[in-house]
Structure 1
Amino acid sequence: MIERHQILREWQIFLLAVGFLTRIPVPADPDFSDEKLNGASRYFPLVGALVAAISALSFMLASALFDNVLIAVLLSMVASILVTGAFHEDGFADSCDGFGGGWRPDDVLRIMKDSRIGSYGSVGLIMVLGLKASALFALPSTLALLSALFWAHIVSRWLSVSYLLDLDYVRGDGKSKPLATAMPLSHWLWAGLPILALLSFSDLPALMPMFLALLIFRFGYAAYLRRRIGGYTGDALGAAQQIAEIVVYLAFLL
């Protein structure tokens, strides 16, 4: 039987994850420890569910107010960006600048660390936001769009933390440093529990192309990171989340 103090501890770890990934105010943890901080990564997909719920609610409200799908899609994206502080988008832009402008691993990492956005990052952000909006707008129904939001925000964060299983962290500083630099397999499986709830409301055979595409991307991107920088950075994880989110949206169009 799970004791009350264990439930409270997990709740505090979840709040640490919320505070790290979003701009949502959370109370200070009176029993804060590095161990709790390192464990927060296993709640990233659950935080993704929270972001998806906010985005979905924003879409429904905007759709009711304006009766325009494109406007509702854009406002739902604005809501998700505001609630996360463009956390993952920032990592994606830094990754575009680093991998686009650097050849040697040290150059890539140095460019990533620069807070200024360059031409690769600017073009990358325009493309990633445009693809999100276009894919969501092209979905055939509101139900499909809402389902895609939840799948994308949850699965993309589960995929991004999977790199903590088999890649080394290659930079010890910077604003995008992950909460933990490694993750036990048991914690990653725990992190995937929200997906079970999604599966209970979904047509599993119809989702197979999405899972296949995500699997190919996951291991292809891991190989790319090993070759270019010898591991991962927080920015690289942000890029993984953004790309995986788009993969999910595009898969829902198949």
Structure 2
Amino acid sequence: MAQQTKTYHHILAAFMLLTRLPLWRVVRVTDTAFRRATDYWSLVGWLTAGTMVVIYWLSMLIGLPTIVAIILALLSRLILTGAFHEDGLGDFFDGFGAGGSRERILRIMKDSHTGSYGILAFVIYYALAIHSLAALPPNLTLIILGVGDPFCKLVASQLINTTPYARQVEESKIETVYKRMSIPTIIFSFAAGAFPLFLFLPMYYWPAILIPVLIFVALRQLMMRKIGGYTGDCCGATFLLCELGLWLGVLMMSRGQ
């Protein structure tokens, strides 16, 4: 019973940290539970992906243009997460774009102000995201919105399992350093992240899942070389870039049909 309660609190902590759902109003979890938030990051992806799918489907149902439906779908996730991952994307590009010493990169990434590299990253990221999704057949866009989010959260969460934390604990932005997953939670995370993809994505597009994996490997190498590990911003940036890579990969493969 104690283990079930602990798991329940870890799942709630994941949804509290990674979304704006006001669960804290009805339940209280310990601070240490937030250190296990990434154990269930791919499960949170079911909610964020499901929200995008519903908003996209409803927008198309009422006759809105495809590109408007995509923007509204992406906006719904932004609102649900409080732009949590986008904050990481901007800080990541500001820090690594400016370059310099390890200490300088980490200092820039911790600065709450968004610099020119971060702004450019937002513009380029959303331009590619919106136009790549709009170029897909609507049914395939619906599928890729639903399966890409959990899978790429699974991929990005492996930073915690394979990479040391780059800062001191007290220097963390959210004052929490994630713990590495146990074997059971790794299995659960893989199941939650990969199951929707293999259930809904046509087999023809399965090779596209290699692109997020390659992006993950490249980004991890960059982080190890530049700052000796990962930060929370690195996790958010890795997730979004892996997801964008999957969308672009599916788009390229769709052109070959």
Give 1:132 shift: 1.0
Aligned to 1:144: 140
In the alignment, is the contact (CA less than 8 A) between 2:212 and 2:243 conserved in 1?
no
Indicate the residue corresponding to 1:206 in structure 2: 205
1:68-83 matches, within 5 Å, as: 68-83=65-80
Q: 2:219 aligns with which of 215, 218, 221?
A: 221
Alpha-carbon separation, structure 2, partners of 1:242 and 1:42? 18
% identical equivalent positions: 28
Q: Give SS of 1:200's match.
A: helix
Give the 5 Å matches for 1:45-124. 45-124=42-121
Note the C-alpha offset of 1:16.
Answer: 1.0
Q: After TM superposition, give the deviation of residue 221 of structure 1 in Å.
A: 1.3
Structure 2 residue aligned with 1:32: 30
Q: Give RMSD over aligned pairs.
A: 1.9
Letter of the 2:79 counterpart: L
| Alpha-carbon displacement from aligned partner over 1:122-146 (angstroms, at most 9, x marks no partner) | 00011111111111111113x2112
Give 1:206's aligned amino acid: Y
Q: TM-score, normalised by structure 1?
A: 0.90
Structure 1 segments unaligned to the other structure (5+ residues): none
Q: TM-score, normalised by structure 2?
A: 0.89
Residue 251 of structure 1, CA deviation: 1.6
Question: How many residue pairs align between the two structures?
Answer: 248
Hey, what does 1:131 align to over in structure 2? 128
Cα distance in 2 for partners of 1:180, 1:121 equals 24
CA distance in 2, matches of 1:158, 1:168: 18
Change (3 A) 1:7 1:185: closer
Q: How does 1:15-30 map to 2 (within 5 A)?
A: 15-27=12-24, 29-30=27-28
Q: Distance in 2 between matches of 1:193 and 1:156?
A: 13
- Tell whether the 8 Å contact from 1:159 to 1:218 is kept in structure 2 after alignment: yes
**Contact kept in structure 2, 1:93 and 1:124, CA below 8 Å:** yes
